[in-house]
Structure formats: C-alpha cells, structure tokens
Chains A and B, each alone.
Chain A
Amino acid sequence: MGRRKTREQVHGIFYPRSVAVVGTNRGRGTVPFDIFYNILKDGFQGTVYPVSPREKSVAGVKAYKYVIDIDDDLDMAVLVFPSTVAHLAMEQIGKKGIRSAIIISAGFREIGEAGMKREQEVKAIADRYGVSFIGPNCLGVINTDPECSFNASFARQMPAQGNIAFLSQSGALCTAVLDYALAKNIGFSKFVSFGNKADISEIDLLYYLKDDPKTKVILLYLEEVTEGKALMEVAREIITERGKPVLILKSGRTAEGATAAASHTGSLAGSDEVCDAAFRQAGIIRCETIEDMFNYAICMAYQPIPQGKRVAIVTNAGGPGVLATDRAVREGLTLARFSEKTTDILRKSLPHTANLSNPVDLIGDAKKDRYSAAVSSILGDDGVDGALVILTPQSMTDIPSIAEELCSIDRRFPKPLYTSFMGEADVSEGVEILQRHHVPHYPLPEDMCQAFSRACLFAELRDRDPGQPTLYDDIDTDGVDQIFAAVREEGQSLNLDQSFRLLDACRIPPLPYGLAGSEAEAAALAEEIGFPVALKVVCADVTHKSDAGGVLLSLDSTEKVRRGYQGILESVQSSVAGARVEAVLVQKMAGDGEEVIIGIKQDPSFGPVVLVGIGGIYVEILRDFAVRVAPFSRGEARAMVRSLKLFPLLSGARGREPRDVESLLTCIERVGQLARQRPEIAELDMNPLLVRTQGRGVVVADARVVLKKTFEGGYDENHHS
C-alpha cells in the first residue's frame, strides 16, 4: 500500500466545487449518462461539465470534446470512459490540474492480468500529476451534505441526509443497501463505493470520517482485509477518540485458509477467527448480515449509547414480552428493577390485571395513555438504562397515536428508547412515524434486544483500557539468534531440542530433559531425571512425532527405556523414509497440570497472532480457544483465558485446586512478545503447556516451531531490549 492520503485529498472527493464527467454520452440508462445526470438532478451545489468526444451537449448542458478544452478550473473528474482508454483520460485530467477523481469504469484488476496492468498504468499517471482517486470499478460517491449535495454514482436515487456513513468494497451491494435504507427512512452522511481501491483506500476514508462532523456511525462492507493493522489502528482512534461506532460486515467467513496449516494453532485460528479477534480488539462491532448492520446502526446513530445493561421491557402482549425477555437475558442484558416511585406510578396508571414488574404488561387493550405513563415513568427511573417497547396491533390499539407519543417521550429523555411494533400492514403507519422521528424500530422484539446488546458492547469496547503490553527484558536474545541461525543452515523447522531451547531462552521452561545418542545414554539420562520418563524423537524431518511412532510415554524402568529407544528408531525409519534422526529426547513425565495450548501464527492481514486453547488432545474437537493480534496487554491475556469455556478447570471448578493462572498469563505475554519481536516465526505450538497448581508455574511438555521459508528482516524495534 502507498502512503496515507491527507485529509484534504480525501475531502476533495466529497466536496468538489466543479466537476467534469469524462466520457459521458447521451444514452439514457447507461452508466456514462446516468452519472452525469445524477450529479445534475440531485442538486449539486457546484458546476458540472460533460466531456464527450462526440456530443455537443448532454442533458442540455454544453459538452466538451476533451477535459482540457474546459476554460474554467476544475476540482474533480469522474471518469466513465471504458478502461481501455482510462490512461488517456487520466493523462488529460492530470494536465488540466485536477487533483481528485472517481474512476467508475470496470475492466481493471478484477478481470486479471491485462486489467491489472491498466490499473497500474492509470495509477502511475495519477501519481505523476498528484491526482487522488476512488475506484476503479465502483458505483461512485455520494455526499448528502446540503453544502455540496453531490451524487456522483449510478444509484437509482440519492439517499436522504443522515448521520451514517457507508463504505463498500462491492458496488452492487451499494444499490441494494440504498434501496433497503430508503424503505426504512435511513439517511446517510457519506456513501462510498471504493471498488478496487487502487489509490484511496478504506483506511484513508476512515481517517477522514473520523473527523467528519456529519458522520456519527461508520459502516463498512469488506470482502478482504488487506491492511489489518492499519484498520485496527484507525478504528481504535475513531472509537476511543471520537466515540463513533465502526460496524463491519466482512464476507468470506468460510475458512479456506486454515486447511493448509500444519500446526494446531494454524488449523484453529483461521483467517475468520483472526478477523473476529482483531475486530474485537480494535472495538469494531462485526455484523453477520446487512440487516444486522442496519439494526445496530440505527440505534447507535439515533439514540444515546446505553449507560448500562438494565433494560425495561414494556408490552401490550404477554407472549412477545416473554420472547423479548428471553432474548434480552441471552444477550447479556439484565431486567431492571423499578424504584418504588416507578411502581407506584405504574400501579396508579395501569389496570389491576397489568404486570407492574419488568417486563411490564400493559394488557392487550392498552392505548396511548398507558404507554405514555409506563414508558415515561420507567425512563425517569435511575435504575433503568433503556426502554424496549413492544406493540401488537389489537382492534382497539391506536397505533399512530402511540407512535407519536413514544416519539414525544424520546425527545424528553436522554436514555435509549427502542421499539418493536410487531406485524406489518396494520402497524405500518406507526412504524413510519417512528422511523421519521429516528426512534429505532425493529419488526421483531428479539432483534431489538440484540441491537441494544450491541450498543452496550460498543460502550464496553469503547471504554475499555487496552493497557500496554509488558516488555520482558530477560529474554536471551543471543541464544534465540543462535538457534535461528543454526536452523537456517539446515532448513525450516526447529527440532524438539531447538524448540525447547528457544522457549527456555524466553523464560518459558520445558520439562527437564536430555538428549541421548544411544540406548545406554537414554538409560543413564532416565535414571538421572527420575522415572517415569517419556522418549521423543528429535528429527526435523518428522512433522508429527506421535504419528511416526516417535513418542513413548510413562516408561518406568531402565529396561523399558532401552527397548523404547530402539523401538522409536525403528518406527520413525519405517514411517518416514530417509528420516535423519538426530537424537532421542528423554524427558521427565509431565505429572499434574492442566493441559493448555499456546501458539503463534502469522496472519496475512493482521500479522502475528497468538492463540490460547484448552482441551489437551481434544482442542481441535472442542474448539475452545481465544485469539489476539500481538502485541497485547496482560489484561487482554487475562480476557483470553477467562473467555475459554473450560476456564473453570483452571480457576478451580468442583473442588479442584486452582491452577497457576498468573504464570499462565505471563507465559502468554512472553509468547506475544516473541511473536512480535521475531516475525520470522511462521508457526509455533506449545502443546501441551502444563499449568500447575498455584505458585508452581507452568512447564512445556511439547513444542513445535516452524520458521518462514524466506525472511528478509523486519525485526521489531524492541528486538534487543
């Protein structure tokens, strides 16, 4: 990726004062015409010029053969010529002194090598003239700010003005989203289809939106994360410094990347798991569907972010109230307990058959007055963080009046108020009123609860202190260098001895062991270490030692060790033809300790990531693991461990003695530091790491380390600290 764009460069895309549409024509219903016509008809506050080789005018506006023929200064060009001549157009755009462009045309990188060459050529010309551009291969850009009112897209309609920004890698999705939003009265501040992002990227756009006063919530649709670290950084700034939620819908959840991984860490932490973890670390809310994205967006854009998770559910129907309650609790919300004052008001305002506690049932014949009394008193209660109001349409339900009243209450209380008018036809008038007044509405109460929960999650992620990573200064960096240098001479994988020495250099102790080159040495070592022992083959040619018959456990006599030594040599030789066995490792048997896996893998988008899992040999079946992008703080390490479903095994479930979780956290931090400082590590597995009882630390029983095939430097700046 190139250098970051300046704020002014991105601003030029949204706020041009004069625009040329280069390559337009008079063909209604074609992209070149519709782009020009949309700019014209949607109230652009500047001047627009059609550039068309053959037309004298387009839509009644005088046309120019070339952009350089236009006498006036121009801020922007929207390029709609076919890709085959985009370079010619860009050359003229540059010569004309235009500094911003949108390249709508397709036929670039997305079609293969020939298109990639074209894209590079156009980008090179743009760079030479200092032109910043969106695209190519995109729907265009919309800025609803009345100061500019700029619709340089071939969308069917200009969206309403709003405080939600939408950025999309897919152009086709944009038109569907616009239509969806139109039906729900959702407005946008900025709307960008950024296509192939050959110049201005989503990261540049996010930095701009961070300080865009018209934008309160940012939505991003991504098909690939190309700059993971940069995305995390800018999102974190937007969320913590500006308090703006960033919601991302990332497609491609299927984990094709995990299949090729040789390590447990690699196979568990596929690209999608890493994406989930990275987004969470940055405070980004990941959405599953477009509908989810807008469900979350409207509540965060229209309502205050909840101060807490205590909700009050108000309903005129028992069943939906129970459904909402179930979902609210499942989403981690709590049902608020009302004050005596609130309960008094409810008692006086509601019939004696009404349920006065949470969820409040107003009874089926409830009209505006009951909703008004209940919702007002509840929102005035200090023990309530938000109200979730449900309505089902009975014959006597005055739907529009209730909707109007809820809008009025919403204006009076600085707390979130969400609604769910269930049904469709009968409630439509009320729904329209709610949407017009920006009171979030959800057809299903479950979706309303989920949206409230996500708003709470946003608050939690926004306010969380990510902490600083601990930098351990007792790492034997010379020792690590020597191991890596030796491995580089021989290949890619560290043998078991090298893996243990690497971890030992990082102050992560392996179980006591020694290397034997003969039966006699193995027997002597076993007697010295103390029975029972394990024997493990040391051979870089063997990827999975157990599968090759290279591991024997719980040998409790000298004779068994002698026989075991020979057995291992024979098994490995017959399993892996030509395997060069370097030694047999004699190791103290593990004894007690909870088995944990800790690993490193390199993610192509986010860089080094660390995985912590639990479940011993069943870790892949249980899939009980947590992932973080390195570096991370001890607090994050603690959150990782606590998020494991089997964490109670470590904390002392059912009378078990608690394990040394603090030592485990230190170990995770040290692995995080290793991952960050040694990017030449492609994969690392410590499996199992044994977490002993409190105060007795952790020990590594087995480990596997693979280095990158080619590595050209890139050490962390703190490598030698």
Chain B
Amino acid sequence: MERGEIHSRVRKVIASVLKLAEEEVTAEANFIFDLGADSMQSLELVAAFEEEFGVEMDEAAALGVQTVDGAVEFISGILSTQG
C-alpha cells in the first residue's frame, strides 16, 4: 500500500475516533497534546487502526506512537511485514 493512501486512511480513522474534522488532523499533530486524546481513546485508536488495515499491533509499541506521522510510519512498517 502506498504511503499516501496509508496517510489518508490514518487521518480518517483518527478524525472518526476523536470526533474531529479531518483538516485538524495534521501530520505533526500529537495525539494527546494537539488532538486531546485521552488514554481510553488511545486504546480505541489502536483497535481502529488494526481493523482499518487488517493487521495486529503490539499494544505497548502502538501506544508509544505519539504523532499522526508516527502512526503512518508505524503502520507502514507493520504492513510491510504482515501485509
């Protein structure tokens, strides 16, 4: 899957889980500091990413990802090994 597509789908998932407009979900945005995710929403995001991309994530590693760009990077890495 191309990185551009991953980025677009990641943004959609984030906007949906955090109930934000897509344009608020910028590449550098920090889930907690900029987008206001709390710990429960962070877990929801991991689950939503797994469903969206049909992959399994290591929860601790996934929760260590802090930014939108970081999530794109993380999911790309998983897709290259699992997908």
User: Is there contact, CB below 8 Å, between B38 and A52?
Assistant: no
Interface string of B25-54 (1 = CB under 8 A from A): 000001011111011000000000000000
Which one of A80-88, A262-270, A452-460 is at the interface? A80-88
CB distance from A380 to the nearest CB of B (A): 66
Q: Which of A493-531 contact B (CB under 8 A)?
A: none
User: Is there contact, CB below 8 Å, between B33 and A81?
Assistant: yes
User: Is there contact, CB below 8 Å, between B32 and A82?
Assistant: yes
A25, A54, A88, A89, most chain B CB atoms within 10 A = A54
**A85-B30, A88-B30 are contacts. A53–B66 as well, Cβ < 8 Å?**
no
User: Is there contact, CB below 8 Å, between A85 and B36?
Assistant: no
CA distance A54 to B35 in the complex (A): 6
CB-CB under 8 A from A82, the residues of chain B are 32, 39
Partner of B33, one of A25, A27, A55, A89: A89
Chain B: which residue is nearest A52 at the CB level? B36
CB-CB under 8 A from A89, the residues of chain B are 33
Partner of A81, one of B18, B20, B32: B32
User: Is there contact, CB below 8 Å, between A85 and B35?
Assistant: no
CA distance A81 to B66 in the complex (A): 13
CB-CB under 8 A from A81, the residues of chain B are 32-33
User: Is there contact, CB below 8 Å, between A53 and B35?
Assistant: yes
CA distance A55 to B20 in the complex (A): 11
CA distance A89 to B36 in the complex (A): 13
CB distance from A521 to the nearest CB of B (A): 72
CA distance A88 to B30 in the complex (A): 9
User: Is there contact, CB below 8 Å, between A88 and B36?
Assistant: no
User: Is there contact, CB below 8 Å, between A84 and B66?
Assistant: yes
CB-CB under 8 A from A54, the residues of chain B are 18, 20, 35-36
CA distance A52 to B33 in the complex (A): 9
User: Is there contact, CB below 8 Å, between B33 and A53?
Assistant: yes
CB distance from B57 to the nearest CB of A (A): 18
Interface of B is mostly: loop
CA distance A27 to B36 in the complex (A): 12
Interface of A is mostly: loop
CB-CB under 8 A from B66, the residues of chain A are 84-85
CA distance A538 to B33 in the complex (A): 68
User: Is there contact, CB below 8 Å, between A55 and B36?
Assistant: yes
User: Is there contact, CB below 8 Å, between A53 and B36?
Assistant: yes
CB-CB under 8 A from B33, the residues of chain A are 53, 81, 85, 88-89
CB-CB under 8 A from B18, the residues of chain A are 54
B32, B33, B35, most chain A CB atoms within 10 A = B33
User: Is there contact, CB below 8 Å, between A25 and B30?
Assistant: no
Q: Which of B3-27 contact A (CB under 8 A)?
A: 18, 20
Chain B: which residue is nearest A114 at the CB level? B64
- What is the number of contacts between chain A and chain B, taking CB atoms within 8 Å? 27
User: Number of B residues whose C-beta is below 8 Å from A?
Assistant: 11
Chain A: which residue is nearest B41 at the CB level? A54
CB-CB under 8 A from B32, the residues of chain A are 53, 81-82, 84-85
CB distance from B27 to the nearest CB of A (A): 16
CB-CB under 8 A from B36, the residues of chain A are 25, 52-55
A27, A52, A84, most chain B CB atoms within 10 A = A84
CA distance A162 to B39 in the complex (A): 39
Chain B: which residue is nearest A92 at the CB level? B33
CB-CB under 8 A from A55, the residues of chain B are 36
CB distance from A251 to the nearest CB of B (A): 31
Chain B: which residue is nearest A86 at the CB level? B33
CA distance A89 to B32 in the complex (A): 11
CA distance A633 to B49 in the complex (A): 71
CB distance from A114 to the nearest CB of B (A): 10
CB-CB under 8 A from B30, the residues of chain A are 85, 88
CB-CB under 8 A from A85, the residues of chain B are 30, 32-33, 66
User: Is there contact, CB below 8 Å, between A25 and B38?
Assistant: yes
CA distance A25 to B33 in the complex (A): 12
CA distance A25 to B20 in the complex (A): 16
CB-CB under 8 A from B38, the residues of chain A are 25, 27
CB-CB under 8 A from A25, the residues of chain B are 36, 38
Chain B: which residue is nearest A27 at the CB level? B38
Interface string of A62-98 (1 = CB under 8 A from B): 0000000000000000000110110011000000000
CA distance A56 to B50 in the complex (A): 31
CB-CB under 8 A from A84, the residues of chain B are 32, 66
CA distance A54 to B20 in the complex (A): 9
CB distance from B79 to the nearest CB of A (A): 25
CA distance A503 to B83 in the complex (A): 77
CB distance from B54 to the nearest CB of A (A): 28
CB distance from B60 to the nearest CB of A (A): 12
Chain A: which residue is nearest B32 at the CB level? A85
CB-CB under 8 A from B39, the residues of chain A are 82
CB-CB under 8 A from B35, the residues of chain A are 53-54
CA distance A99 to B18 in the complex (A): 33
Q: Which of A227-270 contact B (CB under 8 A)?
A: none
Chain B: which residue is nearest A88 at the CB level? B33
CA distance A6 to B18 in the complex (A): 44
CA distance A604 to B66 in the complex (A): 40
CB distance from A684 to the nearest CB of B (A): 51
CB distance from B34 to the nearest CB of A (A): 6
CB distance from A35 to the nearest CB of B (A): 15
CA distance A25 to B41 in the complex (A): 13
CA distance A54 to B34 in the complex (A): 8
B18, B32, B35, most chain A CB atoms within 10 A = B32
CB-CB under 8 A from B34, the residues of chain A are 53
Interface string of A21-62 (1 = CB under 8 A from B): 000010100000000000000000000000011110000000
A–B pairs, 27, beta carbons within 8 Å: A25-B36, A25-B38, A27-B38, A52-B36, A53-B32, A53-B33, A53-B34, A53-B35, A53-B36, A54-B18, A54-B20, A54-B35, A54-B36, A55-B36, A81-B32, A81-B33, A82-B32, A82-B39, A84-B32, A84-B66, A85-B30, A85-B32, A85-B33, A85-B66, A88-B30, A88-B33, A89-B33
10 new A-B contacts, CB < 8 A, other than A54-B35, A85-B30, are A25-B38, A53-B32, A53-B35, A54-B20, A54-B36, A55-B36, A82-B39, A84-B32, A85-B66, A88-B33
The 3 closest A-B pairs by CB, nearest first: A54-B36, A53-B36, A85-B33
